[in-house]
Structure 1
Amino acid sequence: MTYTELKNKIDERIQQAEVQGPLTREQLNTLHHKYRLEWNYNSNSMEGNTLTVAETRSVMIGNIDVHRKPLKDILEVKGHDEVIRDILSIGKADLRLSEKRIKEIHASIMYEEDSEKKGWIGQWKEVANEIINNRGEKYTFVLPEEVPEQIHELLNRTNAAIDHIQAKKKDAPHPIDVALNFHLDYLNIHPFYDGNGRTARILCNLVLVALGYPPLWIKEEEREVYYRYIADIQCYGGRREDLFAYMSELILRSQQMIIDIQAGKSIEEADDMGKEIELLKRELKARENNSTEVKRSNLVIKELYDKSLNTLIGTFKATASKFFDFYAVNQEFLDITVDGKSIYNDEAMHHIQNITKETEGVLTKLSQSIFYKDIKAGKSLDYNDTLIVEFKHDHYEVYFSKTRDTIIKKYNERLTQEEMDNMIKQWGEAMIQRLRENFKEGSTNE
C-alpha cells in the first residue's frame, strides 16, 4: 500500500475501534503493558551494543553516540519506562512541544557515571557529531551553534500543525504526517551529545498518542530497513514517503492490537516470554541498585537537583508568577543551608550549579519562597509560602511550609513527573480558592 492508503487504513481501524466502544480497564492494562514491553525492549536494545565501523551500515541516525559507548545501564531503561508511562497515562490530550520538555525527556532517559558527561545531559550539544553511513561516507549533523535556531523553527512548525489539527481546521495536516516529519527533522538536527534516536522516537510517539494514534516501535528484524530509508533521505535525497509508509505499517500494527483485544484475541507473540524475562532481569538489577542504601552527599544532591528538583522549583515559580497580577508587590527568594549557614538568591544558585566532588560543606536544606503583598482588590491578604526540600542523612523530604504534606524519598529515587505535577496543581488550586474567598469576603464588607 502507498503511504496515503496506509494512513486511510489506520483511520479506518481507529473508527472501527471507536464503534466498539472504550476498552475495559483490564483490556487497557493489557494493551499498555504490551506497548511498554515492545517500546522499552526494542528502543533500548537498539542502543545496546558496541559497534564497529562495518556495523554502522545498519545503525544510522540517532542510535549510537559519537563515542560508540554501549547504553545498557539499568537507570536509563528505568527512566525510559517512566517517560512511556507518562505518555500512555495522559493519552489523547492537548499538546504543546517545547525545548524545556525535550530537555526534560532527555534528562529522564540518560545516565552517565562520568562527571563531565553528566553536565551534557539535558543540554544542547557543544561538539559536532557525525556518523559513517552504509556506503562508508561521513554524514555530519547540524552544527552545535545552529541547534537552538533549528529546534526553535522545528517546534514552531510542529506546534502550528498541531494547533490546526486540534482546532479541526480544513487545511490541517494529517497527524501521522506531523509525527513522522518531526521524527525525521529532529534526527537531522541531532541536538544532544547522545540519546537522539530514543528521544526522537519518544517525541514522535508523544505526538501520535496525544493526537489519538497508537505508538510505534521498531523490532530487531525491522531496523535495517528503517536505517536504510533514513540514510537514503538524509544522505542521498531519498523520498520521505517511503520511510513514512514503512513506519505507518508499524502504527497500523499497533492499532490492530486494539482491534484484536476488542475481539477477545491474544496480542502476545512467540518471543514475548524472552522479552519479559529480559525486562525482569533489568528490574532485578534495578531492585539490587535500590537495595543499596545511598547516603547524603553533595554529588547525590546535585544529581537530584539536576534530574527533578530543578524542574519542580521552576514549575512552582512559573505557577506562582501567574498570581502576580493580583498583588502590587511580588517577591521570590531562594535560600539554601550549607553546614548551618544560609546562602541566598544568586549566590545560592551559583553554589548549587557549581557543586563538585571537592565542594566544601554539605547542603542540608533548600527553600524557594514566594511573597505576595498589597492585594489590588478584595480584603487585605498578604500571603507567602515556601517550597522546602530537606536533605536528611539517608533520605530527602519535599513539602510546602503551609501544608506540610510531605513526600519522602530515598536518594536513589527521583520525584516522578506525576508527583511534581500533583504538588504544584494542589498548591495552585489552593491559591485560587484563597483568592476567590478573599474577593467574596471583600465584596460582602463593601
Structure 2
Amino acid sequence: MSYEKIKDTIDAIKAKVAAFGELTIEQKKKINYKFRLEWNFNSNSMEGNTLTIEETRSVMVGNLTVNDKPLKDVLEMQGHDQVIAEILRIGKGELRLSEKRIKEIHSGIMHEENPERKNKIGQWKEQANEIINSKGEKYLFVAPEEVPEKIHALLNKTNASIDAINANKKNAPHPIDVAMEFHLDYLDIHPFYDGNGRTARILTNLILISLGYNPFWINEKDRAIYYNYISDIQGYGGSKELFFEYCAGLIERSEQLVLKAIQDIDIEEEDDLQKEISLLKRQLEGEIFTKSPINIYDIFQFINTDVWQPLSIIINQFDDLFSESKTKHLVNRQSEIYPTKSILPIFNPFEKSTKPKEITIFGHEIYENDIYKVEWNHLKYGLKKAKNNTIYEINFSLSFETTSYNLKLSVNHLEIWKTNFAYNEFPHKEEIEKVKKDLGKNIINNIKNDIQ
C-alpha cells in the first residue's frame, strides 16, 4: 500500500474511533499504558538498554531495584517514562516546539555517572559525531558549530507547518508529513553527544499526539528495516517516501490498537507473550544459568550476529590496504565442517525420515561435542608498502566455563579486549561500540608503524 493510501486508512480509522464517542476512563488507561510500555521498552532497547519488558513494567510503577541491572539503564527508563507519560497526559493541543523544550526532554531521559559526560546532558554537542552504517560506511552529522542555526531553522519550519494545520489552511501539510520530515531532519543534525535517537522518536511522537494522532514504536524485529531506510537516505539520498510509508504503517498499527480497545478486543499482542516467555526462560530471578548445549548455542548466535559482525565491518574497511584476506572459523581448535551432499541420493517415497535436525556451530553438532571454544580467525596478507610486518591476524574467541562465558579479542597476538559474562547476560551496545573504536584505532596504529 502506498504512503498516501496508508494515510487515508489512518484517517478512516480515526473517523471510526471518533464515531464511538468519548473513550471511557478505563479504555484511556488501558490504551495509555500499552503505549507507554511499548514506547518505553522498544525505544530504549534500541539504544542498548538492557531492561526486559517485565523490568520496564516494574520501573513504570516506581521500582528502581531491578535484577541487578545497571542503575543507568533503570534511571534512563524512569526518566523516559516520566517524559512520555506527561506527553500522553496532555494529549492533543497547541504545540510550540522550542530549543528549551528539546533540551529539557534530553535532560529528562539521560543519566550519566561520569562528571564530564554528565555536563553534556541537555547541551548541544561540542564534538563532531558520526555513525558507521549497516554497510560499514561512515556518515558524519552536522558539525557542532552549525547545530544552533540548523535547529533554529528546523523549528521555524516545523512550527509554521503546525500553525498551518491548526489554522485549517488550505495548503497545510498532512500532520504525518510534518512529523516524518522533522524526524529525518533532526536525525541528520544529531544535536546531542548521545540520546539523539530517543529524543527524535519522542519529539516525532509529540508532534503526532499534539495533532491528534497516536504514537508509534519500532519492535525488535523491525529495527533493521528502520535503520536501513535511514542509512539509505543519509548515505545515498534514498527515497523518503519509502521511509514515510514504513513509519505510516507503524502509526496505523497504533490507530488500529485504539479501535480494538474501544471494541473491547484484547490489545495484548502475541509479541507481549513472546517477551514474557523469553523473560521466564532467560531472566528468572535468582536463577544461575550453567553451561549446556542450548545455552552455548544461544550465546554463540548472539555473539556471532551482534558482536563479531559489527567487528568484521571495521576489519573489512582495511581490505584495500592488503593483497588478500581470509577468515577461518574454529570450534574446539578444529576447522569448520562444511555440509556435504550425496551426488546420487537414494530416494524412497514410502520412507519418512525421523532423524531430528542437527543444531551446529560452524558444522560441529552441539549435542555430540563438548564445545568449550569458538574462534573467528581473520588473516590479512600483503600489507601494501610495508617495511615490517606484512601479515595481520585478528583473533576473536568465545570460550565457555561452567557458569560463565569469556570473550577475547587480539590483533597480532596482542590482547585488546577481554571480558566475561554469566549465561543470562550479554555485552551492552555501548561496550561493543567502544571495542569497535578500539579495534579500528589499533589496526590503524599497527599499519602506521609497519609502513614507516
Is the contact between residue 93 and residue 211 of structure 1 (CA under 8 Å) also seen in structure 2? Answer: yes
Secondary structure of 1:126's match? coil
Change (3 A) 1:41 1:277: farther
Query: One-letter code of the match for 1:212?
Result: G
Residues 8-62 of structure 1: CA deviation (Å, up to 9, x unaligned) = 1101110111011121000110001100110011001111169xxxxxxxxxxxx
Counterpart residue number, 2:91? 91
> What's the CA shift for 1:276?
6.9
**What SS does the corresponding residue of 2:6 show, helix, strand or coil?**
helix
The match for 2:358 is none
How much does 1:264 deviate? 1.3
Structure 2 residue matching 1:38: 3-state secondary structure: helix
CA distance in 2, matches of 1:122, 1:260: 38
Question: Partner of 2:247 in structure 1?
Answer: 247
Higher-Rg member (1/2)? 2
What displacement does 1:275 show?
5.1
**Partners of 1:3 and 1:248 within 8 A in 2:** yes
Contact 1:142 1:188 in 2 (8 A): yes
Opposite residue 247 of structure 2, the aligned amino acid is M
In structure 2, give the amino acid aligned to 1:258: V
What is the distance in 2 between the residues matched to 1:71 and 1:48? 14
Shift of 1:203: 0.1
**Alignment-derived partner of residue 36 in structure 1:** 36
The aligned residue for residue 11 of structure 1 is: 11
1:8 is matched by which residue type in structure 2?
A: D
Q: Distance in 2 between matches of 1:159 and 1:256?
A: 28
SS of residue in 2 equivalent to 1:271:
helix
Counterpart of 2:175, as a letter, is P
Identity %: 63
How far did 1:71 drift? 9.7
Please say if residues 44 and 72 of structure 1, whose CA atoms lie closer than 8 Å, have aligned partners that are also in contact.
no
Partner of 2:227: 227
Equivalence for 1:425: none
Hey, what does 2:121 align to over in structure 1?
121
Describe the shift of the 1:209–1:195 C-alpha distance in structure 2 as closer, same or farther (beyond 3 A): same
Question: What letter corresponds to residue 115 of structure 1 in structure 2?
Answer: P
Q: Deviations over 1:293-341 (max 9, x none)?
A: xxxxxxxxxxxxxxxxxxxxxxxxxxxxxxxxxxxxxxxxxxxxxxxxx
Q: Which structure has greater helix proportion?
A: 1
Which residue is equivalent to 1:79? 79
Deviation at 1:115, TM superposition (A): 0.5
Matches within 5 A, 1:161-172: 161-172=161-172
CA distance in 2, matches of 1:271, 1:40: 15
TM-superposed CA distance for 1:73, in Å, is 1.6
* Contact residue 112 and residue 118 of structure 1 kept, 8 A: yes
Q: Give the equivalent residue in structure 2 for 1:132.
A: 132
- Verify the 8 A CA contact 1:13 1:256 in the aligned structure 2: yes
Which residue matches 2:157?
Answer: 157
Output the CA distance in 1 between the equivalents of 2:156 and 2:207: 14
**What is the CA deviation profile of residues 251-272 of structure 1, one whole-angstrom value per residue up to 9, with x for unaligned ones?**
0000001111111100001232
* Deviation of the 1:134 alpha carbon: 1.9
CA distance in 2, matches of 1:261, 1:135: 41
Query: 2-side partners of 1:94 and 1:32: how far apart?
Result: 20
Alignment of 1:275-290 (within 5 A): none
Name the residue aligned to 2:189: 189
In structure 1, how many angstroms separate the alpha carbons of the residues matched to 2:213 and 2:278? 28
- 1:37 touches 1:275 (CA, 8 Å); kept in 2? no
The C-alpha deviation readout for 1:87-139, integer Å capped at 9, x for no partner, is 10000000000000000000000000000111100000000000111222110
Root-mean-square deviation (Å): 2.3
Give the C-alpha shift of residue 178 in structure 1. Answer: 0.4
SS of the residue corresponding to residue 139 of structure 1 reads strand
Given that 2:80 and 2:108 are in contact with CA atoms closer than 8 Å, whether structure 1 keeps it comes out as yes
- 1:211 is displaced (CA, Å) by 0.1
In structure 2, C-alpha distance between the alignment counterparts of 1:40 and 1:270, rounded to whole Å: 18
Aligned to 2:48: 48
* Structure 1: segments with no counterpart, 5+ residues: 51-69, 285-446
Q: What are the equivalent positions in structure 2 for 1:42-441 lying under 5 Å apart?
A: 42-48=42-48, 73-273=73-273
* Rounded Cα–Cα distance in structure 1 between residues aligned with 2:257 and 2:237: 34
Asked if the contact 2:124–2:193 (Cα under 8 Å) also holds between the matched residues in 1, the reply is: yes
- SS of the aligned residue for 1:73 comes to helix
Note closer, same or farther for the CA distance 1:192–1:278 as it changes in structure 2 (3 Å cut): farther
Distance in 2 separating the partners of 1:112 and 1:195: 12
How far apart are the structure 2 equivalents of 1:49 and 1:73? 6
When residues 49 and 81 of structure 1 are mapped into structure 2, their CA distance, relative to the original with a 3 A threshold, is: closer
| 1:274 CA drift (Å) | 6.2
Residue 114 of structure 1 aligns with an amino acid whose one-letter code is N
Contact conserved, 1:41 with 1:275, CA < 8 A, in 2?
no
State whether residues 49 and 73 of structure 2, in contact with CA within 8 Å, keep that contact through their aligned partners in structure 1.
no
**TM-score of the aligned structures, taking structure 2 as reference length:** 0.56
Question: Are the equivalent residues in 1 in contact too, given 2:83–2:108 (CA < 8 A)?
Answer: yes
Runs of 4+ residues over 3 Å off in structure 1: 273-280
